[in-house]
Amino acid sequence: MGKLIVYNFLSLNGYYKGENEDISWAKQAGGKEENEFAANNLQSGSTLVFGRVTFQMMRNYWPSAEAAKNQPEVAEGMNKAEKIVFSRTLDKADWNNSKILKGDPESEIRKLKLMSDQNFTILGSGSIIRQLVNKGLIDEYQLMIHPVLIEKGTPFANDLQGKLDLELTGSRAFKSGIMHLTYRPAKSPKDH
């Protein structure tokens, strides 16, 4: 069965995007080391999963000449990866290797995980994450914590229904001060 992974950038005060969808604070802190890490992650063969807003933002950047110049290995991996976008309004997914799923994300992800041994990685897409975290469908959280505080933004995990305990399964410190933390949902005593 496939695993569902969340991979997201966060400010130190817990926002995954700033006011007006701003993510420039995340781009400024990364460097060569982080780009190599991202490019290696893209070699895993995981299918990338997006909501419409994140998909359109990524589609506008990664196929561009600017992305190829600034982050060639990451751009290549993003453009080659299989991609799914959840949208009820898009008519076509005009980024190579992309397909639109118009159904309910919970039902679709359950089916995809059961039908495949492949992993699925959600990038950004807070609305999709919120729906799936409350249904217990996320198997792993990979968070890139940036050493920056931003004034306003959208919290990473808002609208939770109850509490979700996580256990740390990995960490890496980058020279830039960025921390990569990997968590999985903790097993409750009844799971043993």
The CATH number assigned to the domain holding 100 equals 3.40.430.10
> What is the band of 55 on the pLDDT scale with cuts at 50, 70, 90?
very high
Query: Is the overall model pTM greater than 0.75, yes or no?
Result: yes
Domain containing 174 equals 4-191
* Residue 173: Cβ-neighbour burial (10 angstroms; 0-12, 13-18, 19+): exposed
Q: Name the band, by pLDDT with cuts 50, 70 and 90, for residue 29.
A: low
Segment 159-192, tens digit of pLDDT? 778 888 999 999 999 999 999 999 999 975 454 4
- Tally of structural domains, the chain: 1
pLDDT digits (tens, 9 = 90+) for 122-166: 998 888 898 898 888 999 999 999 999 999 988 887 777 888 899
Task: Answer whether 25's CB lies under 8 Å from 160's CB.
Answer: no
